[in-house]
Structure 1
Amino acid sequence: MKKLVLIGGGHSHAIALKKWGMNPLSEVELTLITNVVKTPYSGMLPGYIAGFYSFDQCHIDLPSLAKYSHAKIYIDQAIGLDLEKNLVICKNNSPIPFDLLSIDIGSTPTVLSIPGAIEHTIAVKPISKLLQYWHQLIEEIQQNPQQKIRLAIVGGGAGGVELAFNIHSHLTQIYQQANQPLNQLELHLIHSGKRLLSERHPSLSRKVENLLKKLKIHLHFNETVDQVDETQNSIKKISCKSGLTLECDRIFWVTQASASPWLKQAGLTTDKRGFILVNDNLQSVSHPQVFAAGDIATMVNYPRPKAGVFAVRQGQPLLENLKRSLEEKPLKPFIPQKEFLILIGTGDQKAIASKAWFNIGPNSLLWRWKDYIDQKFMKQFKN
């Protein structure tokens, strides 16, 4: 009996588990190790922040999915690997043996190098922790809507921009319902580049910047945060290299992604940021018994941004190569698309569509299209 172990319940693994359940291999014992019971779908997270979706609408129930795929499940955190003995080292359980291993644990924003960032900011990943903080914040504002709130978002990529739109949408709605002035909310977006969404076409950057300015969101460009402190009355103070300082009640950290350090420490070959280097078959370049997909993997020949669209597309080819490896068949290469469409929700049930130099919106038709795509993706895990 061969042992296939999956670490993490990311998008690629969720798809692989579903499809394995539909067509399993005999004589293979499947195990899932995950530190969360419900895994969020990143495409619907901004809509959840805005209040458009319930928790269950945008979360995949991993125990149910494991049951469907006849997988053992350990609710535990992987903290290391023994690649000589093929063991997964867990925080709470005994080491778990494997013949074949797949890793899909996502990424976290880079905060380690900034003094005070870990202690005094809210990282957007892991998403489960972000949502705990978000629920607390909503509760505080609902209980005391007369009190002014100052928030900052560090990072002006797609994640930071969408978070700004949707935080603004939900909180202004709360103030309106409480008959409070909208200037109760002060929202800052801090970005180290000279324009937002710097990986996309400049025309999209201009459009998004104009929309955020209309909402009176304060934009700070070419600003690198080098320290975060907390005052005696729990106010957070952001200090930038330029000399800019900002005082806020909460800071959301949405900067460039980084990887868990235990992967490199285990001996896997990684890129400069610690992500597992994989070949065209989504297989570790240093350890053929290890596969990786989603944000945690960097394809040597096809490096791509850390975006959910790639994790979703990798689910099927990952499963196929895991099965082929177990059956000792030749593996099949996967080539990700170069240009990809993004749909940015603007917090008002409208969206902007962007691909290469082309962008359109925001309008409600694009939001309905985005909503349809997201709901369709989640529907496959609901029954």
Structure 2
Amino acid sequence: MQTPTTPISRDIVLVGGGHSHVVALRHFGMHPLPGVRITLICTDAHTPYSGMLPGYIAGHYTYDEVHIDLCRLCAAVGARFIQAEVTGLDRSARTVQLRGRPDVAYDVVSINTGSTPQTHSVPGATEHVVPVKPITRFNQRWLALLARVRDHAGRTTLAVVGGGAGGVELCLALQYRLREELRGWGREPDALAFHLFSAEGLLPTHNADVQRRFAQVLAQRGVQVHAHAAVAEVESGRLRTADGAWFDADEVVWVTRAVGAAWLQGTGLALDALGFVQVNNCLQSPTDPRVFAAGDVASLPQALEKAGVFAVRMGMPLAKNLARAIQGQALQPYRPQRRWLALISTGDRYAVASRGALGFAGRWVWRWKDLIDQRFMRRFNDYQPRPGMAATASPALPLSAEESQQAISAIAMRCGGCGAKVGATVLSQALSGLQPVANADVLIGLHAPDDAAVVRVPPGQALVHSVDFFRAFVDDPYLFGKIAANHALGDLFAMGARPHTATAVATVPPGLERQVEAVLRQMMTGAVEVLNAAGCTLVGGHTGEGAELALGFAVNGLVDVAPDGSLPGVLRKGGMQPGDVLILTKPLGTGTLMAAHAQLQAKGRWVQAALAHMVHSNQQAAHTLRAHGATACTDVTGFGLLGHLVEMTRPSGVDAHLRLDQLPLLDGAQDCVARGIVSSLQSANVRLRRALRDQEQWGGHPRYPLLFDPQTAGGLLASVPAARASACVAALQAQGYAQACAIGHIAAQGDALAPVVLAAHS
């Protein structure tokens, strides 16, 4: 979680992870603006570099070599990263609208979302083609196509629709890769047939020499080129051109002219005929001076080809104009180059260079292209903040008189005690949209606020109390709110309690009221969504100022009390029986992954997958474990798997046998601990190694450190009778706990003091 040294006064929001925005992010990392928060919103944690995509398809590069890790880049430059789908702009409220979560406020917003395939105008295309754009989603389609070709018996015919440089390059890359794959699968390369369809001629924007070179290459490779043959209809297994001719096609890859995203239509911004955002030469919308656009989605006064070279070149002018706009300064025009160098590969580590009337080719050209591309990628994936980097000197942000007073207050010496509370107006506005789940037992709560909440305990039931609190470790306050609430509820689920009510304690860094309100609203909205889903009513809380964003909950649950005073529905840590099977519902590794993320050593997809597990509630898992006769249960959190297991074995009077190779792990966790990256709590947890029998034997095992890894919103650890264990694991996996598994068994207590026995495998 980034902690700004200057209170946040303004927000620049970047929508989309295109080439222009990654260049702008790097610029802001090198030249940070005091008081300005940068937020990137993108549907994916990794964005592909279009110049290397054909090389990836051809098999010359790995996935990571052609993708920019947006999650890591944002962490490196001090920007917030929010993985979400944008659905619109509310320009009057100055917010970006997101699917399934609260809007994100902006002072200036930039759009760099690329383009989407224009398939709706061709009957059947939407249902039956593999569109190359948006390229952020192409990888899944490509892997699916690869699997279909592998499984297709007999001859396979592939059609590529689009005769521009992108279509030709992709066609040759596909052919090269699939022929190599067929050889590896023991099939003849001639089992593939390729057709290239172009509504115009071949590479119409390039010179005659380049066109001739590629016509020769395509002919030599046996690709049938259909020039001036626009595709008019697509059906399963075939397509029709405008002249009425039908062609067989088992797979159709769509690389034609694209259009702007559909959500842009509802923004009220001026768009061109293809739905792209019209901008002036300063990349600013003529409709709204707070809105900018760059890359493929931008429509400039001078027509530009939708090429990555322009998107990259726009990045620096865009960043500088965003900074000028937020500071109230005059903008400077972007001047695109009239001619540019295009290096177009032929799939087999050979490339053709095209610039104006010039054209030349060779394997050395491909090596040159590879050198340029690799150097470009290193600028982002290897970016490291400079030591001691501080915000560059810049003019003060233009603030209103009221905002200036708030800014002075935010940087002044802060009061303690009740003076550190968040203002009533900010608090009421931030919480006004929250709708805690209704609960008849809440007599006085947020629906009728008073000095304290009054909650009735139903007869025949008892309250289960728990509390959790921690500072933010992700920059997305909405996501952090969900994780904090889920983490707090874990103790109730582990004991078999039904969540009832909760009170919150939050700290928010000081700043302008609008920014404080936005963060608090995002965080509490995420938290209340989780509480409501669990049937837990938020009844009150306290919000104060602090150096870092933090959130915690005191949660209450209900359990039944028998007439004799016993608690028949409560699952406790003690209760394990010899012969029981140990089941873990979620994978391990959140501690090392979050530590690696803070050190810029974790891949973005690892981090996002870990966060997805943290927001996955344990409620259904708890029901399933009880339904299958669980004898003891706890949630795995800060003390790590071993620490919580020891808390179960001691009161149960048993030993536990763990199988290291069976431990479910988050992607990247083993890689991170192998590099010595561990949580700050790891050293304290490692002191429990004395609970391991023959621990010296296992210290070198690659999974050994993860026994001590502290978990946030981790899974449930339970003992289940052996006869029901398999059915229990199957039920958990069917409910979405995909990595739930048996990790060991319980044995009678032996003579040794150490209660946990390790084994590499069963």
Shorter-normalised TM range:
over 0.9
Name which of 38, 60, 63 aligns with 2:71.
Answer: 63
Report the alpha carbon displacement of residue 177 of structure 1 after superposing the two structures with TM. 3.5
Report the alpha carbon displacement of residue 179 of structure 1 after superposing the two structures with TM. 4.7
After superposition, residues 182-193 of structure 1 pair within 5 angstroms as 182-193=189-200
Tell me if structure 1 keeps the 8 A contact 2:283–2:294.
Answer: yes
1:256 aligns with 2:257: yes
1:274 aligns with 2:275: yes
Question: Which residue pairs with 1:314 in the alignment?
Answer: 314
For residues 224 and 319 of structure 2, the distance between their equivalents in structure 1, rounded to whole angstroms, comes to 45
Question: Which residue pairs with 1:334 in the alignment?
Answer: 334
| Higher deviation after alignment, 175-184 or 305-314 | 175-184
SS of residue paired to 2:145: helix
Name which of 217, 230, 234 aligns with 1:228.
Answer: 234
SS of residue paired to 2:25: helix
After superposition, residues 240-251 of structure 1 pair within 5 angstroms as 240-251=241-252
Report the alpha carbon displacement of residue 109 of structure 1 after superposing the two structures with TM. 2.5
Report the AA paired with residue 125 of structure 1. Answer: K
Tell me if structure 2 keeps the 8 A contact 1:141–1:147.
Answer: no
Tell me if structure 2 keeps the 8 A contact 1:66–1:73.
Answer: yes
Q: What TM-score, normalized by structure 2, do the two folds share?
A: 0.48
Report the alpha carbon displacement of residue 332 of structure 1 after superposing the two structures with TM. 1.1
1:124 aligns with 2:132: yes
Report the AA paired with residue 337 of structure 2. Answer: Q
Report the alpha carbon displacement of residue 52 of structure 1 after superposing the two structures with TM. 0.1
Report the alpha carbon displacement of residue 239 of structure 1 after superposing the two structures with TM. 1.3
Question: Which residue pairs with 2:93 in the alignment?
Answer: 85
Question: Which residue pairs with 1:373 in the alignment?
Answer: 372
Q: Residues 230-259 of structure 1, C-alpha deviation per residue, up to 9 Å, x if partnerless?
A: 2xxxxx220122011112111000001211
SS of residue paired to 1:198: coil
1:166 aligns with 2:169: no
Q: Residues 297-320 of structure 1, C-alpha deviation per residue, up to 9 Å, x if partnerless?
A: 0111x2210000000001111101
Report the alpha carbon displacement of residue 261 of structure 1 after superposing the two structures with TM. 2.5
1:150 aligns with 2:157: yes
For residues 374 and 158 of structure 1, the distance between their equivalents in structure 2, rounded to whole angstroms, comes to 17
Question: Which residue pairs with 2:344 in the alignment?
Answer: 344
Question: Which residue pairs with 1:27 in the alignment?
Answer: 35
Question: Which residue pairs with 2:223 in the alignment?
Answer: 217
| Higher deviation after alignment, 311-320 or 91-100 | 91-100
| Higher deviation after alignment, 18-27 or 172-181 | 172-181
For residues 115 and 95 of structure 1, the distance between their equivalents in structure 2, rounded to whole angstroms, comes to 35
Question: Which residue pairs with 1:133 in the alignment?
Answer: 141
Name which of 169, 177, 180 aligns with 2:184.
Answer: 177
Tell me if structure 2 keeps the 8 A contact 1:154–1:254.
Answer: yes
For residues 163 and 305 of structure 1, the distance between their equivalents in structure 2, rounded to whole angstroms, comes to 18
SS of residue paired to 2:102: coil
For residues 31 and 141 of structure 1, the distance between their equivalents in structure 2, rounded to whole angstroms, comes to 40
For residues 96 and 242 of structure 2, the distance between their equivalents in structure 1, rounded to whole angstroms, comes to 41
Question: Which residue pairs with 2:108 in the alignment?
Answer: 100
Tell me if structure 2 keeps the 8 A contact 1:257–1:306.
Answer: no
Question: Which residue pairs with 1:12 in the alignment?
Answer: 20
Name which of 174, 189, 206 aligns with 1:200.
Answer: 206
Between the aligned residues of both structures, percent identity stands at 40
Cα distance change of structure 1 residues 257 and 143 upon mapping to structure 2, 3 Å threshold:
closer
Report the AA paired with residue 274 of structure 1. Answer: G
For residues 224 and 173 of structure 1, the distance between their equivalents in structure 2, rounded to whole angstroms, comes to 30
For residues 209 and 36 of structure 1, the distance between their equivalents in structure 2, rounded to whole angstroms, comes to 36
Report the alpha carbon displacement of residue 277 of structure 1 after superposing the two structures with TM. 1.0
Structure 1 runs (4+) deviating above 6 angstroms are: none
For residues 272 and 128 of structure 1, the distance between their equivalents in structure 2, rounded to whole angstroms, comes to 24
- Once superposed, what is the RMSD of the aligned Cα atoms? 1.4
Report the AA paired with residue 350 of structure 1. Answer: Y
Tell me if structure 1 keeps the 8 A contact 2:117–2:134.
Answer: no
Question: Which residue pairs with 1:233 in the alignment?
Answer: none
For residues 294 and 133 of structure 1, the distance between their equivalents in structure 2, rounded to whole angstroms, comes to 23
Cα distance change of structure 1 residues 357 and 292 upon mapping to structure 2, 3 Å threshold:
same
Tell me if structure 2 keeps the 8 A contact 1:341–1:354.
Answer: yes
Report the AA paired with residue 332 of structure 1. Answer: Q
Question: Which residue pairs with 2:594 in the alignment?
Answer: none
For residues 110 and 49 of structure 1, the distance between their equivalents in structure 2, rounded to whole angstroms, comes to 22
For residues 242 and 354 of structure 2, the distance between their equivalents in structure 1, rounded to whole angstroms, comes to 32
Report the alpha carbon displacement of residue 202 of structure 1 after superposing the two structures with TM. 2.4
Report the alpha carbon displacement of residue 178 of structure 1 after superposing the two structures with TM. 4.1
Tell me if structure 1 keeps the 8 A contact 2:133–2:258.
Answer: no
SS of residue paired to 1:29: strand
SS of residue paired to 1:19: helix
Report the alpha carbon displacement of residue 139 of structure 1 after superposing the two structures with TM. 3.5
Report the AA paired with residue 175 of structure 2. Answer: H
SS of residue paired to 1:381: helix
Report the AA paired with residue 288 of structure 1. Answer: P
For residues 39 and 144 of structure 2, the distance between their equivalents in structure 1, rounded to whole angstroms, comes to 34
Tell me if structure 2 keeps the 8 A contact 1:223–1:240.
Answer: yes
Q: Residues 6-36 of structure 1, C-alpha deviation per residue, up to 9 Å, x if partnerless?
A: 1000001011111211221011122111011
Q: Residues 162-210 of structure 1, C-alpha deviation per residue, up to 9 Å, x if partnerless?
A: 01111111111123334533220011101111x2111112222122111
Aligned residues: 374
The answer for unaligned runs of 5 or more in structure 2 is 1-8, 383-762
For residues 186 and 81 of structure 2, the distance between their equivalents in structure 1, rounded to whole angstroms, comes to 48
Tell me if structure 1 keeps the 8 A contact 2:10–2:107.
Answer: yes
Name which of 78, 81, 88 aligns with 1:73.
Answer: 81
Tell me if structure 1 keeps the 8 A contact 2:343–2:352.
Answer: yes
For residues 333 and 126 of structure 1, the distance between their equivalents in structure 2, rounded to whole angstroms, comes to 28
Report the alpha carbon displacement of residue 4 of structure 1 after superposing the two structures with TM. 0.8
For residues 177 and 266 of structure 1, the distance between their equivalents in structure 2, rounded to whole angstroms, comes to 50
SS of residue paired to 2:380: coil
- Highest RCO, 1 vs 2 (Cα 8 Å, sep ≥ 6): 1
The answer for unaligned runs of 5 or more in structure 1 is 231-235
Report the AA paired with residue 376 of structure 1. Answer: R
Cα distance change of structure 1 residues 142 and 264 upon mapping to structure 2, 3 Å threshold:
closer
1:49 aligns with 2:50: no
Question: Which residue pairs with 1:324 in the alignment?
Answer: 324
Q: Residues 71-91 of structure 1, C-alpha deviation per residue, up to 9 Å, x if partnerless?
A: 222111111111122111111
For residues 337 and 211 of structure 2, the distance between their equivalents in structure 1, rounded to whole angstroms, comes to 22
Report the AA paired with residue 263 of structure 2. Answer: W
Report the AA paired with residue 345 of structure 1. Answer: S
Report the AA paired with residue 351 of structure 1. Answer: A
Cα distance change of structure 1 residues 122 and 141 upon mapping to structure 2, 3 Å threshold:
closer
SS of residue paired to 2:368: helix
Report the alpha carbon displacement of residue 142 of structure 1 after superposing the two structures with TM. 4.6
Tell me if structure 2 keeps the 8 A contact 1:38–1:60.
Answer: yes
Q: What TM-score, normalized by structure 1, do the two folds share?
A: 0.95
Report the AA paired with residue 308 of structure 1. Answer: G
Report the AA paired with residue 124 of structure 1. Answer: V
Q: Residues 93-123 of structure 1, C-alpha deviation per residue, up to 9 Å, x if partnerless?
A: 1111111000100012211111111111011
| Higher deviation after alignment, 49-58 or 267-276 | 267-276
